[in-house]
Amino acid sequence: MRTLTVLGATGSVGASTLDLVRRNRDQWRVVALTANCNVEELAALAREFGAAIAVVADESCLPALREALSGTGIETAGGAEALVDAASREADVTVAAIVGCAGLAPTMAAIEQGRTVALANKEALVSAGEVMTAAVAKHGAILLPVDSEHNAIFQCLAGNRIEDVRRITLTASGGPLRTWSQARLDAATPAEAVAHPNWDMGAKISVDSATMMNKGLEFIEAHHLFAVGLEKIGIVVHPQSVIHSMVEYRDGSTLAQLGPSDMRVPIASCLAWPGRMDTPMDPLDLAAIGSLTFEAPDEVRFPATRLAREAAQAGGAAPAVLNAANEIAVAAFLAGKIAFTRIAVTVERTLDRSLPSAPQTLDDVLAVDAEARAWAGALLETT
Ligand code: NDP
């Protein structure tokens, strides 16, 4: 029996994680489940899995959670500090699946306790960068990548030496708007942008897929997870999402990981690591898929990967600013306030400001994040 905490239990990755746990109930005991304010779903999950504690990040939602769980013996808590406390509790595996930089402090709390963290929350690593990787090293934590691309790379690197890697190639589906003209992209609606052809995901990452910022964030994420140098990380568009990423070695061999477009595959790889576990998906049927195609990214229609690459090259505060501006712009787009193509423009203009100095601590990262959110918000108000 192993213990598990899921930060962001009510989201898409949270649901996929708990689906695997549901199928293996005798192997897991659930410690903490968290949400922002989705009390109904959180309470239902806490009851079903007999969680020790359920936490809402938004403290105003705590009374409703208390009421929903009264008489169950399940502890309840609310607010940012409660989230950090819950993430600090002993657990064999902590799945970090909160969306956005909001997940950074609890993820760091688990890392500082030296836990095994299955990381889906890419924005946290992009923003904190070396602050997070240094904490992993200092506290002897283990970071297992949940993101399907990084999980693929992690698997392709197993048993090999990082010095032998010639190139890492992240695959990108290209998202639902991949073939759209610039004029059509200007008029893309939130419903069109979240209608991903291959993956069923939360709204924010779905928009990131449509702008290609998801791949930009993953480029930075890969740089922190795998010590190969930025110049050795590339991106190729692969619309079928069958190959989840590849590692090429100096002898010319390229190892790829293939699988169904279902997050339960990489999540299972993390939950069972270093072993393997069953998943309920149909085996990959390559004959039915027929063909796998590849194309170079178009950074004119989709500038986000260029912006992310430049932010990674600049280092320091730039990745945190990129991420914060993107979060603000995506939220404005989803709220119907700005056009789809304004997302990348807002990120670029925010990065054009003179950037704060490189963050050295978690508080520094959170300060940069807050400042960049204010800048991006002001840009959206005034332009
Ligand atoms: P969802 O939007 O589906 O879920 C987000 C989760 O985070 C929910 O539990 C939500 O709670 C919680 N949450 C939202 N805002 C806050 C906040 N301010 N404080 C604390 N908790 C909050 O997201 P996804 O599951 O799609 O994505 C989660 C993370 O995983 C993201 O970083 C994403 O990039 C990454 N990822 C996702 C993949 C996917 O297939 N979905 C694939 C690879 C990576 P509530 O329900 O109450 O709002």
Ligand 1 pocket test: which of 98, 143, 214, 373 has the largest number of ligand atoms within 8 Å of its C-beta?
Answer: 98
- Rounded to whole angstroms, the Cα distance separating 160 from 308 reads 28
Average pLDDT, the chain: 97
pLDDT tens-digit profile of 30-54? 999 999 999 999 999 999 999 999 9
Same domain (yes/no): 138, 193: no
Residue 247 pLDDT: 98
pLDDT recorded at residue 203: 96
Answer yes or no: is the C-beta of 94 below 6 A from any ligand 1 atom: no
Instruction: Report the pLDDT value the prediction gives residue 198, as an integer from 0 to 100.
Output: 86
**Is the pLDDT assigned to residue 196 strictly greater than 90?**
no
User: Is the distance from CB of 235 to CB of 296 less than 8 angstroms?
Assistant: no
- pLDDT band, very low/low/confident/very high, at 382 (cuts 50, 70, 90): confident
Using the 3D structure, point to which of 146, 165, 197 is the last residue of a domain: 146
Q: Over 70: is that where the pLDDT of 73 sits?
A: yes
Q: How many domains does the chain have?
A: 3
* Residue pair 118/146 in contact by the 8 Å Cβ criterion: yes
Q: Which residues of 284-298 are buried (b: 16+ CB within 10 A; e: fewer)?
A: eeeeeeeeeeeeebe
CA dihedral 98, 101, 104, 106 (to 10 degrees): -40
Determine the pLDDT at residue 124: 98
Q: Are 234 and 175 in a shared domain?
A: yes
**Domain of 183, in residue numbers:** 153-302
Domain for residue 208, yes or no? yes
Is pLDDT of 370 > 90?
yes
- The enclosing domain of 43 has a CATH number of 3.40.50.720
Q: Is the pLDDT of residue 267 over 80?
A: yes
Q: Are residues 171 and 276 in the same domain?
A: yes
310 within domain boundaries: no
Whether 308 maps to a domain, the answer reads no
Give Cα separations from 232 to 150, 176, 222, 228 (angstroms). Answer: 15, 27, 10, 6
**195 and 281 share a domain?**
yes
| Pocket lining: 93 vs ligand 1, CB cutoff 6 Å | no
Residue 48 shares a structural domain with residue 183: no
Confidence of residue 197 (pLDDT cuts 50, 70, 90): confident
β-strand pairing of 254-258 with 243-249: antiparallel
CA 226 to chain CA mean position, Å: 16
Q: What's the 40 CA to ligand 1 centre distance in angstroms?
A: 16
Whole-number Å distance, alpha carbon 8 to ligand 1 midpoint, is 6
In a domain, 309, yes or no: no
Q: How far, in Å, CA of 96 to CA of 365, rounded?
A: 18
Same domain, residue pair 223 and 322: no
If asked whether residues 344 and 274 sit together in one domain, one would say: no
Residues 6+ apart with CB under 8 A from 328: 346, 373, 376, 377, 380
Q: First and final CA of the chain: distance in angstroms?
A: 55
Could you tell me if 89 and 28 lie in one domain? yes
Pocket flag, ligand 1, residue 152 (CB < 6 Å): no
Same structural domain for residues 87 and 127? Answer: yes
Percent of the chain with pLDDT over 70: 100
Q: Does residue 83 sit within a domain? A: yes
How far apart, in whole angstroms, are the C-alpha atoms of residue 253 and residue 381?
51
Condensed to tens digits (0 to 9), the pLDDT of residues 202-211 reads: 999 999 999 9
Across 1-29, average pLDDT: 98
pLDDT band at 383 (very low <50, low <70, confident <90, very high): low
- Per-residue pLDDT reduced to its tens digit, 139-160: 999 999 999 999 999 999 999 9
Angle, CA of 180, 188 and 326, to the nearest 5°: 105
Residue 112, pLDDT > 70, answer: yes
> Which residue, 146, 161, 180, sits at the end of a domain?
146
pLDDT in tens, 233-258: 999 999 999 999 999 999 999 999 99
pLDDT digits (tens, 9 = 90+) for 283-299: 999 999 999 999 999 99
Percent of the chain at pLDDT above 90? 98
Separation in Å, CA 143 to CA 37, 125, 350: 27, 11, 30
Whether residue 199 has pLDDT greater than 90: no
- Cα 11 to middle of ligand 1, angstroms: 5
Question: 203 and 271 share a domain?
Answer: yes
Residue ending a domain, choose from 263, 281, 302: 302
In this prediction, residue 320 has a pLDDT band, given cuts at 50, 70 and 90, of very high
User: Residue 166 domain-assigned?
Assistant: yes
32 and 116 in a single domain? The answer is yes
Whole-angstrom distance, CA of residue 114 vs CA of residue 139: 5
The answer to whether position 205 is within a domain reads yes
